[in-house]
Amino acid sequence: MKRRREVACTVDLEMTHDHFHAHVDLKGVYVDPGDEVLVRNTPNRIAFGTQTTFDSSAEVRRASWLKRQVVKLTGGTAIHELYEVGFEG
């Protein structure tokens, strides 16, 4: 298996009152834990209230076996850095 691979992808960007997201659909490639993806030729901003979808390319860098195992072991604890939960009573 190649360590680096160029693939086609579709990029979906939206910045509206209801949604703020960037989704990438890699064509024919499954990304495993620890892999890195670099999407090329993406706009650095879109106007508020718009949604756009376009075709681009991406470089997928495969993780080594050791890095993949470390990510699998520590991935569950790192997810807590991405969100905050609060309750009001």
pLDDT for 5-39, tens place per residue? Answer: 999 999 999 999 998 888 999 998 899 888 999 99
Distance CA 13, CA 50 (A): 8
Q: What is the model's pTM?
A: 0.71
pLDDT at site 85: 54
CB-based contact 56:42 (threshold 8 Å): yes
Distance CA 58, CA 17 (A): 29
